[in-house]
């Protein structure tokens, strides 16, 4: 552990994800999404195409806004390995993002260089322990930019 940060056991993390998705579905999408505010991230639903199955896969993620783009972290609950949604985006870059403002088609990519540094600093403003949590992973956490498209 780094600087006292602690991640719950994996079963707790995955159960929380399942409960959140279940509440979202049961409420017809009325519960589970929120806009970001100063000092707080928002929550959105990302639908990707499974890289092996070819089926749509949905996940609820935290996000910040950067202009018209959404910015999220491929953190896998701070566990090792890349989250499935990120691997799906790497295979099929087009996805759908549903925020409280509606659904939009997005193209996903990893931020690099100065852009990544800038966006990481923005996330650190929301979560001052971000670096400590990221240090729990053996690989760098991708900062993912979802840019809206005309389609």
For residue range 76-134, what is the model confidence (pLDDT) as tens digits? 887 888 999 999 999 999 999 999 999 999 999 999 999 999 999 999 999 999 999 99
Judge whether 1 lies within some domain.
Answer: no
CATH of the domain at 74: 2.30.110.10
Residue 39 belongs to a domain? yes
User: Contact, 61 vs 46, CB < 8 A?
Assistant: yes
Cβ contact 83:74 at 8 Å: yes
For residue 142, give the nearest of 96, 75, 81 by alpha carbon. Answer: 75
Q: pTM to 2 decimals? A: 0.87
In a domain, 57, yes or no: yes
Asked, for residue 91, whether it belongs to a domain, the answer is: yes
In a domain, 108, yes or no: yes
Is 138 among the domain residues? yes
* CA separation for the pair 28, 56 (Å, rounded): 18
How much is the mean pLDDT over the chain?
A: 90
Number of domains in the chain: 1
Domain annotation covers residue 123: yes
Domain range enclosing 73: 10-148
User: Which residues face 46 on adjacent strands?
Assistant: 59, 97
Cα 145 to chain centroid, rounded = 10
The per-residue pLDDT for range 35-88, each reduced to its tens digit, is: 999 999 999 999 999 999 999 999 999 999 999 999 999 998 878 889 999 999
Q: Report if residue 4 sits inside a domain.
A: no
Give the number of other CB atoms < 10 A from CB of residue 59.
Answer: 18
């Amino acid at each position: 552990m780094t600087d006292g940060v602690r991640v719950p056991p994996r079963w707790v993390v995955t159960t929380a994800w399942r409960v959140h998705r279940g509440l979202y579905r049961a409420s017809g999408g009325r519960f589970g999404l929120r806009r970001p505010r100063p000092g707080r991230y928002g929550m959105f639903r990302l639908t990707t195409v499974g890289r092996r199955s070819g089926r749509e896969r949905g996940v609820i993620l935290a996000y910040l806004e950067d202009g018209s783009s959404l910015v999220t972290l491929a953190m896998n609950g701070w566990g090792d390995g890349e989250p499935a949604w990120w691997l799906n985006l790497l295979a099929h870059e087009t996805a759908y993002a549903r925020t409280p403002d509606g659904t939009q088609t997005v193209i996903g990519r990893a931020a690099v260089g100065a852009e990544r540094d800038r966006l990481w600093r923005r996330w650190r403003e929301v979560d001052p322990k971000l670096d400590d949590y990221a240090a729990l992973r053996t690989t760098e956490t991708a900062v993912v930019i979802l840019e809206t498209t005309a389609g």
